[in-house]
Structures are given as C-alpha cells and as structure tokens.
C-alpha cells in the first residue's frame, strides 16, 4: 500500500450518523483537495453512503465474490481461477467514477460457508487499489471487525462516531479496544453527533479517545435525507459539514 495514502475508517454504533459524516468527509476532501484522488468505500451492507453521495450502485464487491464462489461450488475451478486472476480488473470496472471522487460498494457480509481464501484475496486487491488514491474514506458497518475482515487491516485514521447517549459512548470505547487488537492505525478520535443540550457536554467522555467535534441536531439535514438529497445539497455551514471539517482539521488531514 502506498504510504502516502490517507485512509479514514469511520465506525460506531448503528444509527448515530456514520454515513452522513463519512459523506461529509468525502465532500470536504473533494473541495479542499481538488487535485487529489479520493475513494469512498461503502462497507455497510445497507449501502447508505451511495445515497448520501448521490451515487447509483450497479455492482458491489459481493457480486464479484459470489460469481467466483458459484464457479467453485459448481465444480468449475478453472473458471473460478480465471475470475480470481481478473478480480482486480473486475473491481476497477465496478468503481463508480464521479467528478470529484470514486466509489466502491462492498455489499452484504459473507454468509455461512464463505470462502476465506477468496475473501482474503479480494481484501488484498482492495488494499492494493487503495494505494492508487490519495485519500480513502471507509463508511463501516457498526463495529470495526468487518472493516478489518472485509476491507483492510491498516488505516491511518480511525474516527469513532457516537450520539450523546451512554450506550453510544460505551460502544465507541468497545470499538476502540477491538481496534487496538485488530486494526493498525496511526490516529484515533471521536465525533459526538446529534447533541441537543450543550449542558450535557460535561457528561460525555470516551476513554482514551479525544473528541474532535460536537455536532448539534440538524433538522434541515434530516429533511434532506428524507427527500433523498445528497450531502452536496447541504449548505457549507450545516452542522454536519462544520463538525466534519473541524474533525479533519484536528486530525491534520486538511
């Protein structure tokens, strides 16, 4: 992997706004680094990042994996080997090229009886592919395990997202502990999303993780989401944009 590649993995409890913040990261990087090559990876099975970025997904990595596995299960090993050797090209073909960034959807998690060698190889291909970009933003499923298992084991920045709830901060602390064992990263920080009472700040703590930004509740953003609008439709001073920018600045990414 190219040492110059900045890889931002976004993780946290389900429903705390990981996808919106991941999309905001992509938009800010595109605006601040117009000459940079940016890759957005949607590692959440719901593929919500595509909606947040205004992207239409046609092929996911899981579609490629299924084709290889089907060939193996149907006793066509030669075909499976050929498909594996072409996996890098297939993944490149599945990349969606937008004006300011590229997009890759991972798809659903592997089911029972998954083929570990196939999955490991595809993960290696993604890791190699990431080296062709200057910035990679990974919107992860709740937890960190699947980022390590399905996408890559090394990131430069781990950003944990939580809401103000005690459960949210506890999940963030758990993810941090798991990440310390499973994922190689250089810097870690947290964003507290949907804060509606500033007086509660004194009660919000995440052990061993600095808080990079607080984002207040934003009804306009929620309404945009309902309408199916993308992060690019938000005003620059929208709370999620301001919070995401503050976090990237504190991490010295921009």
pLDDT in tens, 160-201: 999 999 999 999 999 999 899 888 999 999 999 999 888 888
The CA–CA distances, whole Å, from 47 to 44, 71, 98, 189, 226 equal 6, 26, 17, 24, 16
Q: Are 8 and 137 in contact (CB under 8 A)?
A: yes
Name the DSSP letter for residue 110: P
| pLDDT reported for residue 119 | 72
**Among 120, 59, 128, residue whose Cα is nearest residue 88:** 128
Alpha-carbon gap, residue 157 to 166, rounded angstroms = 24
Contacts (Cβ under 8 Å, ≥6 apart) of 138:
7, 8, 9, 10, 22, 41, 43, 147, 151, 152, 155
* CA–CA distances in Å: residue 29 to residues 135, 248, 253: 8, 9, 9
> With contact defined as beta carbons under 8 Å apart, do 32 and 154 qualify?
no
Q: Residue 112 above 80 pLDDT? A: no
Dihedral sign (CA 147, 150, 152, 153): positive
Q: What is the DSSP letter of 199?
A: G
- Using CA atoms, how far apart are residues 95 and 104, in angstroms rounded to an integer? 5
Summarize pLDDT for 128-164 with one digit per residue, the tens: 899 999 999 999 877 777 677 778 889 999 999 999 9
| DSSP reduced 3-state for 136 | strand
Let me know how long the chain is. Answer: 254
pLDDT tens string 8-44: 999 999 889 999 999 999 999 999 999 999 999 998 8
All domains in the chain, ordered by first residue: 6-250 (3.40.50.300)
């Amino acid at each position: 992997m190219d040492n110059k590649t900045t890889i931002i993995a976004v993780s946290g409890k389900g429903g705390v706004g990981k996808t919106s913040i991941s999309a905001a990261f992509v938009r800010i990087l595109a605006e601040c680094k117009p000459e940079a090559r940016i890759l957005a990876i949607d590692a959440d099975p719901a593929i919500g990042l595509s909606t947040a970025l205004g992207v239409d997904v046609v092929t996911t990595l899981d579609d490629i994996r299924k084709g290889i596995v089907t060939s193996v299960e149907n006793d066509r090993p030669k075909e499976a080997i050929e498909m594996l050797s072409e996996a890098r090209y297939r993944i490149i073909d599945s990349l969606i090229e937008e004006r300011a960034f590229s997009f890759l959807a991972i798809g659903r998690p592997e089911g029972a009886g998954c083929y570990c060698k196939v999955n490991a190889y595809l993960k290696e291909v993604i890791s190699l592919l990431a080296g062709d970009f200057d910035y990679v933003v990974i919107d992860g499923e709740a937890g960190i395990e699947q980022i390590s298992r399905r996408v890559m084991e090394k990131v430069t920045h781990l950003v944990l997202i939580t809401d103000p709830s005690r459960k949210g901060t506890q999940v963030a602390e758990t993810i941090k502990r798991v990440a310390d064992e499973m994922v190689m990263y250089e810097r870690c920080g947290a964003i507290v999303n949907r804060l509606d009472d500033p007086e509660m700040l004194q009660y919000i703590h995440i052990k061993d993780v600095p808080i990079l930004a607080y984002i207040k509740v934003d009804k306009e953003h929620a309404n945009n989401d309902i309408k199916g609008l993308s992060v690019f439709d938000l005003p620059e001073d929208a709370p999620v944009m301001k919070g995401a920018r503050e976090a990237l600045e504190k991490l010295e990414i921009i």
